[in-house]
Amino acid sequence: MTSTPRSALETTAVEALKTVHDPLTGQDWVSGKQLKSLRVDEQGQATVEIALGYPATSLWPAYTAQVSQALLAVPGVAGVDVHWTTQIQTHATPKGQTPLPGVKNLIGIASGKGGVGKSTTAINLALALAAEGARVGMMDADIYGPSQPLMMGLSGRPDSPDGKSIEPLRNHGLQMMSIGLLIDENAPTIWRGPMATQAVDQLLRQTRWGAPDAPLDYLIIDMPPGTGDIHLTLCQRAPLTAAVIVTTPQDIALLDARKGLKMFEKVGVPVLGVVENMATYHCPNCGHEEHIFGADGGKRLAQETGVPVLGSMPLDLKIREQADRGQPTLVADPHGRIAGLYKDIAQRLAAGLSRLPKDYSGKLPGVTVVS
């Protein structure tokens, strides 16, 4: 907030704004220090500037209506003009981790087992975050089964300008790197654990993420299924900010999802929540809706572990078809119902991350010892 003294009317307006709570964080924008300025001129016109800690440009009109309603109830306020910006902070990572140049926050998208739609969920969440106003990258950490190049519609080898670093490929507004871009797409990756983990570490740290003056707000890491060597490498060497667990509702998937969630807990990586994928099937012919893989399994997992449910996605043929042709749902049908569900999940994910402790390591003053 500016240091210029407020008038009595402005002070009253700020107090009124404290009654408006962010639907995604549950906190008001004044107490959360997201209110940057509030001024009321002699004609009673209020001008408000708020910087959200997560990307949600599609929600700005609804948030503006909330702010306007609260301030117009203040005697003396005749009009309201609200200006929104996005100000994504760098958040703390587990102790001892080396920051990743060009990236503010790393989010691991994980699952306990394969076949639950983790990679499709990861790419659509990355695209949803970008659509909401964030700078986003995608790293495919599945060495044995890289699928992101296909879903991103990318082919060809990335450049190495200096022979030491790799330039990520770009499409649909995202930066992306995958081992699938560096090897023949039909060649199996027959590598032992140490080779695979070294490859992941090189992809992570030798890729030139972000831009010199514009680091990525989020690097989404599509992790392989399970809890093996690559997961341990990413948890121990990558400065993961947080993780998200993707599961289907059936018990066998939930059993493995619990293991994945516990793994992140043991290494000190916060889990932002659970995404329940393939929750229901809606018949396009008769309209009948069926819980093919069981009902509310993701909700039960969330209740047992104390993490929130970020959202549930249906089993929909279009999601698979769009990903297979390199046009994920957020690209193929950005204003459709399914894209809206992904955006809802991405907003909750980013809002939850915005409430994690900030990283102040780069802002602390130097200490000089004088003898």
Residue 275: name the closest of 251, 304, 254 by CA.
Answer: 254
Unique residue bearing structure tokens 């047992």: 304
Instruction: Quick: pLDDT tens for 324-363.
Output: 999 999 999 999 999 999 999 999 999 999 999 988 765 5
**360 in a structural domain:** no
**205 in a structural domain:** yes
Which pLDDT does position 94 carry in this prediction? 79
CATH code of 297's domain: 3.40.50.300
Helix (H, G, I), strand (E, B) or coil at 285: coil
Highest-confidence segment of 25-34, 87-96, 196-205, 218-227: 25-34
Of residues 368 and 97, more confidence is placed in 97
Which of the residue ranges 14-28, 205-219, 299-313 would you say has the lowest mean pLDDT?
A: 299-313
Task: Return the exposure string of 227-260: e unless at least 16 CB atoms fall within 10 Å of the residue's CB, then b.
Answer: bebbbebbbebbbbbbbbbbbbbeeebbebbbeb
107 and 19 in a common domain: no
82 and 112 in a common domain: no
Of residues 59 and 294, more confidence is placed in 59
176 and 29 in a common domain: no
Of residues 83 and 183, more confidence is placed in 83
Verdict on whether the full-model pTM lies above 0.75: yes
Q: How many domains does the chain have?
A: 2
Task: Say if residue 212's pLDDT is above 70.
Answer: yes
Which pLDDT does position 175 carry in this prediction? 97
Q: What is the largest CA-CA distance in the chain?
A: 83
pLDDT band at 5 (very low <50, low <70, confident <90, very high): low
Instruction: Quick: pLDDT tens for 254-274.
Output: 788 888 888 888 888 999 999
Average pLDDT, the chain: 88
Strand 309-312: give its sheet, edge to edge: 169-171, 174-178, 136-140, 216-222, 103-110, 242-247, 271-276, 309-312
244 and 138 in a common domain: yes
pLDDT band at 293 (very low <50, low <70, confident <90, very high): confident
Q: Give helix then strand counts, H and E, for the chain.
A: 11, 13
Which pLDDT does position 257 carry in this prediction? 82
Task: Say if residue 207's pLDDT is above 60.
Answer: yes
Instruction: Supply the range of the domain harboring residue 74.
Output: 8-86
Residue at which a domain ends, from 55, 86, 117: 86
Residue at which a domain ends, from 86, 114, 138: 86
